Structure 1
Amino acid sequence: MSLPHGLLERDQSCLVVIDVQQYFLAKLPLHERGPLVERIAWIIRVARLLDIPVIATAEDIARDGPMVPELAGELPAGTEIYDKMVFGLMGQADIAAAIAATGRLQCVLVGMETDVCIAHSAIGLMEAGNRVAVISDATATPPPHHEAGLQRMAQAGVTITNTKGLYYEWVRDLATDGRVRPQINRPLPAGLTL
């Protein structure tokens, strides 16, 4: 059993990609959009290489459109993108069931929007008995609300970390790093150093 605030374990983790849709991306400053998608795509690829389950949502697909293709194309084959009709994903039975079905109790959240769907989902997952980590540089919301969302979650006990920290917590040793890094087969996202 892991400590509530100890390191994330890859065999106990699932990755939850929340609402990365053009509708929400278009609200961000232009210079933030591409790097956010690139970072999330890189995290999805790492999760796949480490056999970490990936759950994906898109909010009200009929109104707000699908997950952006750059991310949908990175999802493991056959991954369902859940049509999320609530802000906090634990309020929707099929998504809550999909997370429970992974058998993992550590949920790593990336996506949009930090102060609404990410925060509501993180707090709801914690209330359901999961440990939750939010990746600060792989989540976003229109300025100036990102920091407020991160602070709200931190006050609720959510672990706030970044892409580099997540990578090393999942990989954990030099042998795994040496195996995984070449298989990622894509450049590091802008601003990320390992």
Structure 2
Amino acid sequence: MNQIHEADRITETIIKMVHCAKILGLPIIANTQYKKGLGPYAASLEGLMDDIIRPDKTEFNGLANSETKELIKALPVAVDTAILVGVETHICIYQTALGLMEHEFMPWVVADGVSSRTIGNHQLGLARLRDAGAVVGPAEMIVYELLAKAGTPQFKEILPHII
């Protein structure tokens, strides 16, 4: 992450999205990318990830990894959307989004929860994702769309994570 443009903001957004997914009861699947060579997750994420399955992969498309693909296939049939956060926008996020579309999932890319080593590659990655048919939007927009209304117990529990 020390090479990623606005890494602190990306990590904060990922933390927000993991908290929200847990509160909403959404399944979470994560990957590490070649942990042996690139290292573990950012330290601030590790505590949140203890109960989340995280296959290590060398593939850029998460669904090209057999363990990740099996986790995706095991999701309930009602799950047809995947919310993507992580790095790098123009490589792993882009290729994973395409892989999800090939498996009839709609990828929602959290624009402020993804990045690349350069802002240019990040912006070009987001543009290609939109052109390919992925939904691209900020974390707050996606969370509020999932909540649908204020005043619910879930809204009250998520509120400290989004303000």
**TM-score scaled by length of structure 2:** 0.90
Pairing 1:36–2:7 present: no
Q: Residue 117 of structure 1 aligns with which residue?
A: 92
Q: Residue 137 of structure 2 aligns with which residue?
A: 161
Trace 1:88-127 onto structure 2 (pairs within 5 A). Answer: 88-103=61-76, 104-127=79-102
Return the match for 1:128 from 103, 116, 127: 103
The answer to whether the 8 Å contact 2:60/2:92 transfers is yes
Pairing 1:173–2:146 present: no
The answer to whether the 8 Å contact 2:19/2:161 transfers is no
Trace 1:1-194 onto structure 2 (pairs within 5 A). Answer: 25-29=1-5, 32-75=6-49, 78-103=51-76, 104-143=79-118, 144-176=120-152, 179-184=153-158, 186=160, 188=162
Higher percent of residues as helix = 2
Please state how far the C-alpha of 1:182 moved relative to its aligned partner.
Answer: 4.1
Please state how far the C-alpha of 1:85 moved relative to its aligned partner.
Answer: 1.4
**1:107/1:42 CA distance change after superposition, 3 Å:** same
Q: Secondary structure at the match of 2:8?
A: helix
- In structure 2, what is the Cα distance between the partners aligned to 1:54 and 1:141? 22
